[in-house]
Amino acid sequence: MSTLFKISVFCLSVSFLLMLFGVLDSAAFTQLGPVIKQEDPALAALIEKVGLEYRKGAPEAARVEELRSRVKQAYRLAGIERFSELREQAILLILRSEKGFEWETLRSIDLGNGERAGVWLTVPVWVPKGAQAVPTYGAPVDRWEAIHSGHRFAGNVFLPPSLTRINDKRGYEAATLTFETFRWHAPFAYLLFDFVFREGWLNPAKRVPVVSVRCGEDTYAAAPRARAGTIPCFDFKNPNGGDFVKQIREVEYTSVAEVYHGHHARESNHRLGCALDINDINCESCKDGSPNPISRAPRQFARERMHQLDARNLPYWVYGVAEQIGYRVPYQWHYGNGFTDWQHLDCGKLDMQQWENLHRQVACERF
């Protein structure tokens, strides 16, 4: 996807969303969700089958039941019974290719019928008023500092203007974010963001800002030449504690890449397009800064309070939706030493025996 094409899709999608929801806000009827243009026709057809209905006044029980129904349909369409099968399928594709264990390998694999394993997915999101889109770039390199604008375009992220705007839910604007993902994972990711967006459409108090989504990639960074500026963050006095003694900081950066960047380990679900990092920022100067991704502070388990302080922190109900779809959520696992990645959702992890079984399966296929 070229940067020019992506910007065109972004502008068209945002314009349509603003028009659509300006009409629906004053209407009380059942309506299919926002028709967001997808670059891949086959993916667009799949999403049309699992998209949610938007109906003012729909009771929570009905909304949850519809989600369950759509999830079951997505599983049937994907031909899987366990969500972790997505990870296994991605691994098998890479092993059969006999190429490097990278997202760059997987995204380019030809599945037949003109379809590639990697697809661009565009989802509806709420963003703080005045947030500015910044392009990112990606490549299979060892250090994010090596990423430059000559590398492949890797989607946009948003720069929120202030913590006040981040927490002003009624001031949010409808927008879209586009990111790369594994083709068979895409309908499930769309369901998650569609449900979260719809909840915010029904009730502004439930709006969750989504200013970045990282999925299929090896290493990425925001445009290195993007202007200097600041980004709001918390600095907790006790970085590993359970208290909320803090100060708000406007962290200065000389390049947006200092805030938005990442390098994923070889075994990461990101290299398989089977993980989502939502609102993940990097702010080393903030102590347990919000919403830095990895923490061992007990305060982070108070998700509703963290969300109230900084709406970029995901509340528990979002994790609950992700669990219903099948995602492994942060409180189900940790890195060790008590660290939890609060911005991360994925398709699970394989143990050594499962790895050996996949290698054995591919070896048998060759003889």
Q: Is the pLDDT of residue 29 over 70?
A: no
Angle CA 201–202–208, to nearest 5: 55
In the predicted structure, residue 10 carries a pLDDT above the cut 80:
no
- Are 243 and 306 within 8 A, CB to CB? no
Going by pLDDT thresholds of 50, 70 and 90, the confidence category of residue 15 is very low
Q: Are strands 229-236 and 246-253 parallel, antiparallel or unpaired?
A: antiparallel
pLDDT reading at 26 higher than 50: no
Structure tokens at 216: 């299929």
Res. 2: pLDDT tops 70:
no
Tokens 């790895």 correspond to 355
Return the residue matching tokens 């060790």.
336
In a 10 Å sphere around its CB, with 0-12 CB exposed, 13-18 middle and 19+ buried, how is residue 94 labelled?
buried
Question: Using CA atoms, how far apart are residues 216 and 211, in angstroms rounded to an integer?
Answer: 17
How far apart, in whole angstroms, are the C-alpha atoms of residue 203 and residue 207? 7
| Better-predicted residue by pLDDT, 191 or 367 | 191
pLDDT tier at 19 (50, 70, 90 boundaries)? Answer: very low
Give the number of domains in the chain: 1
Residue 23 has pLDDT above 60, yes or no: no
How confident is the model at residue 252, as a pLDDT? Answer: 86
pLDDT at residue 226 greater than cutoff 80:
no
Average pLDDT score over the chain: 88
Whether the per-residue pLDDT at 18 is higher than 60: the answer is: no
Looking at the predicted structure, is the pLDDT value of residue 7 above 90?
Answer: no
- Of the CA atoms within 13 Å of residue 173, those in its CB half-sphere come to 19
The range of the structural domain enclosing residue 154 comes to 3-365
31-47: pLDDT as tens digits: 656 678 899 999 999 99
Q: Within 13 Å of residue 100, how many CA atoms lie on the same side as its CB?
A: 13
> For residues 204 and 200, what is the distance between their CA atoms, to the nearest angstrom?
5
Residue 313: predicted pLDDT: 96
- The residue ranking higher by pLDDT, 288 or 33, is 288
Predicted pLDDT of residue 30: 53
* Res 357: pLDDT: 85
pLDDT score of 48: 92
Q: How confident is the model at residue 266 (pLDDT cuts 50, 70, 90)?
A: confident
Bridge-based pairing state of the strands 261-263 and 246-253: unpaired
**Residue 345: which pLDDT band, with cuts at 50, 70 and 90?**
very high
The residue type of 299 is R
Q: Does position 319 have pLDDT exceeding 60, yes or no?
A: yes
Tell me what pLDDT residue 230 has: 86
Q: What pLDDT score does 366 carry?
A: 82
